[in-house]
Amino acid sequence: MKLLLHTILLIPVLGFLGSLLIPEAKENAISRWTFGLVGLNLLLLMAFVVLWVWQGAVNIDIKDWVLYQSTGYVFFIDFFFDHVTATFGLVGGMLTFLITVYSRYYLHREIGYKRFFNTVWFFYLGYNLVVFSGNLETLFVGWEVLGMSSFLLISFYRDRYLPVKNAVRVFSIYRIGDVGLIMAMWLMHHLWHENITFSRLLDQSLVHDHIANHSLVGIAIALMIMLSAYAKSAQFPFSSWLPRAMEGPTPSSAIFYGSLSVHLGVFLMLRTYPFLEFQISVRVFMGVLGLLTAFISTNIARVQSSVKSQIAYSSIAQIGLIFTEISMGWLNLALFHFTGNAFLRTYQLLVSPSVVSYLIREQLYQFKQQPHSRIHWLPKTWMNSLYILSLKEFNLEKLNFHLFWSPLKIAGRWLGFLKLKHIVLFFLPVALIAFTDLIMQSISGSNLPSILSLPLAAMGLAMVLRAFAEKRDVFLSWWLVVLNHCFIAIAVAFNEHFTLEHVFLYLSGVVVFALIGHAILRKLERSEGKIHLKYFQGIVHEKKHLALLFLIAGLGLTGFPISPSFVGEDLIFSHIHENQWMLALLVALSYIVDGLAVIRIYSRLFLGPSVRKNKETAYRSS
């Protein structure tokens, strides 16, 4: 059983690596390799499920690899299999196989054919890591992979302005969800004093005792998990991002935003339900938000002129009902509802081009007006108001802008005075003083709380906010992100057990990928002249390999699971004390903005319409 499970998890890794090696011109080889291995993965999973049921359907928990261990901290990869994993895994395998077969013909001779299948493999790898995860740390690895594959799929038509812009916006919402998970992991560590596994959460007496003794911490964990799940599943107030994500090809919209990825918030709530079961107030809040999302999304869907947007909002409404079912404890119904909604939305999106032509013909020759609206019983004023609000999508886009984007831009403008000379004169001396104090404490063997911890974390946040708002100097923006990591590492290092070894582990990945990124920027400057961040420049059309290398460097800099800094980020949060909530908040905000700053640099330099005069400029939208 264990060997078969490992084989199922290994196939997406081999599929992704193999797809990178196939030449771009060989479409048949790319597509056959993809749907062949996905089909094999699906058959093995079906055999595993049959064998698992035959042996009594007992939950399986496998602790595989310990990636890092120190005093009071263990980061390990854990896999868990139960009926929830079986359902999500089978649905994911079936739909991915269907999409890969469909895409073979749909994207024939499309520019970026190989890139699409590479990204689908990357997505399927992240999806399997999430649904087979046995703890939050393993789940977070797949969660990060899904966030990046989402960005790549939305910006698939990277020579167009609007897909790239929407990809950055969606990524910003995903970063909020990522930080919600990080904060939940931090609080979980202090509640359980270990990296708790999902199999341990099934012990009701253990969970009840911990929540009873730490009710506020329990509520905070539940709210952070809800934040992450609602951001990933486009629930209120994050609902507006899902239709914007439909800028990618129709197959990616079907597999990603119609069926699988958008339901992973549901998976997260089902997986952590034993922790939520005893918190009635949180469940009531969750159910109310689900019903509110269903009401708003249903009305918006009815007035959409785009079939993709209509399907997106209809899917959001059904997912809102699924969250309500989970809040009421109807877990099996929620699983059944997820399966039906996933297959239905995939079918609707795949046939949407044909359906549009049929509907146009019916409207021209056989149009019949509906005698009554579904809400005809409401007063006329209310109906008109609801209609206008639905047309404006209840101003959810504006709400998200004022809640998330506007504060970042305002803060960045306020910090416009931060130039390189100011950083050298004022910020670096503070960092050097703190680092010297840290070394002295390490030599003396003491760990004393420093009054500099909060100021250092605030300085790190200021650095990355300034990096996000910078429009001219690319190098300044890049190195401000690096300095942010340095300030955070020193700020947390004053807590006990967070030694200089941990600081170097965390910063090793940051420094290596920062130098690689800097070298790429220098090479780009030598070939392209002065580079800046004023607008999208589309350099990827001339320098594809350089763009890929810079993206990898940027991901490593932000703590993606290809760098020691990924373990270092979790290590940092595990050593922030429970009463240091302000420090945790500053670090979490820094991690939100540093990812946005790096993706913004990559998008502005490499994506969008090409600035070359001899290159054809594409339409703003797909």
Cα torsion at 458, 462, 468, 469 (round to 10°)? 150
Given a cut of 80, whether residue 382 has pLDDT beyond it is no
CA atoms within 13 A on the CB side of 600: 27
pLDDT in tens, 330-358: 999 999 999 999 999 998 888 877 766 65
> Which range scores top for mean pLDDT: 422-426, 518-522, 578-582?
518-522
Given a cut of 80, whether residue 437 has pLDDT beyond it is no
**Collapsed DSSP state (helix, strand, coil) of residue 177:** helix
Q: What is the mean pLDDT of residues 126-133?
A: 94
Given a cut of 60, whether residue 360 has pLDDT beyond it is no
pTM assigned to the model: 0.91
* pLDDT recorded at residue 96: 92
With b meaning 16 or more CB within 10 Å and e meaning fewer, what string describes 498-515? bbeebbebbbebbebbbe
Q: Is 536 left (phi over 0), alpha (psi -120 to 50) or beta?
A: beta
Tell whether omega for the bond before 237 is within 30 degrees of 0, i.e. cis: yes
Smallest Cα–Cα separation from 40: which of 23, 65, 15? 15
Given a cut of 90, whether residue 302 has pLDDT beyond it is no
Q: What are the residues whose beta carbons fall under 8 Å from the beta carbon of 519, sequence distance 6 or more? A: none
For 255-281, the three-class secondary structure string (H helix, E strand, C coil) is: HHHHHCHHHHHHHHHHHCHHHHCCCHH
pLDDT in tens, 111-121: 888 999 999 99
Boundaries of every domain in the chain:
2-359, 418-606
Instruction: Give the phi and the psi of residue 419 in degrees, each rounded to 5.
Output: -110, 175
Q: What are the residues whose beta carbons fall under 8 Å from the beta carbon of 158, sequence distance 6 or more? A: 112, 164, 538, 540, 606, 607, 608
CA atoms within 13 A on the CB side of 394: 19
For 77-120, the three-class secondary structure string (H helix, E strand, C coil) is: EEEEECHHHHHHHHHHHHHHHHHHHHHHHHCCCCCCHHHHHHHH
Smallest Cα–Cα separation from 225: which of 282, 167, 155? 282
Read off the tokens for 277: 């079961």
For the chain, what is the mean pLDDT?
84
With b meaning 16 or more CB within 10 Å and e meaning fewer, what string describes 147-182? bbbbbbbbbbbbbbbbbbbbbbbbbbbbbbbbbbbb
DSSP type of residue 168? H
Smallest Cα–Cα separation from 595: which of 569, 552, 560, 565? 560
253-257, 480-484, 555-559: least confident range: 253-257
Pairing assessment for the beta strands 73-81 and 60-70 based on DSSP bridges: antiparallel
Calpha distance 457→485 (Å, rounded): 9
High-pLDDT (> 90) share of the chain, %: 31
The amino acid at residue 527 is S
Q: What are the residues whose beta carbons fall under 8 Å from the beta carbon of 619, sequence distance 6 or more? A: 160
**Collapsed DSSP state (helix, strand, coil) of residue 125:** helix
Burial of 411 (0-12, 13-18, 19+ CB in 10 A): middle
* pLDDT recorded at residue 519: 94
In terms of pLDDT, which residue wins out, 165 or 213?
165
CB of 562 within 8 A of CB of 555?
yes
CB of 306 within 8 A of CB of 273?
no
Token look-up 């006990």 returns 496
**Collapsed DSSP state (helix, strand, coil) of residue 74:** strand
Q: How many C-beta neighbours within 10 Å does residue 414 have? A: 13
Burial of 112 (0-12, 13-18, 19+ CB in 10 A): middle
* pLDDT recorded at residue 70: 72
In terms of pLDDT, which residue wins out, 262 or 208?
262
Given a cut of 70, whether residue 614 has pLDDT beyond it is no
In terms of pLDDT, which residue wins out, 225 or 374?
225
* pLDDT recorded at residue 498: 64
Q: What is the mean pLDDT of residues 263-281?
A: 90
Token look-up 């995939």 returns 346
* pLDDT recorded at residue 374: 60
Smallest Cα–Cα separation from 169: which of 80, 231, 254? 231
pLDDT in tens, 563-610: 888 888 888 887 788 788 888 888 888 988 898 999 999 999 999 887
**Collapsed DSSP state (helix, strand, coil) of residue 340:** helix
- pLDDT band for 324, please (50, 70, 90 cuts): very high
| The length of the chain, given as a count of residues | 622
Query: Which residues partner with 65 through β-bridges?
Result: 77
Smallest Cα–Cα separation from 244: which of 165, 182, 302, 129? 165
pLDDT in tens, 24-45: 888 889 989 998 999 999 999 9
Calpha distance 265→288 (Å, rounded): 16
Q: Is 581 left (phi over 0), alpha (psi -120 to 50) or beta?
A: alpha
Q: Which helix (H) or strand (E) holds 196?
A: none
* pLDDT recorded at residue 622: 43
DSSP type of residue 67? E
Calpha distance 44→49 (Å, rounded): 9
Alpha carbon 477 to chain centroid, angstroms: 23
In terms of pLDDT, which residue wins out, 239 or 440?
239
Calpha distance 469→425 (Å, rounded): 21
- pLDDT band for 450, please (50, 70, 90 cuts): low
* pLDDT recorded at residue 407: 81
- pLDDT band for 175, please (50, 70, 90 cuts): confident
DSSP type of residue 56? T
pLDDT in tens, 68-94: 777 667 788 889 999 999 999 999 999
* pLDDT recorded at residue 597: 92
Q: What is the mean pLDDT of residues 532-555?
A: 88
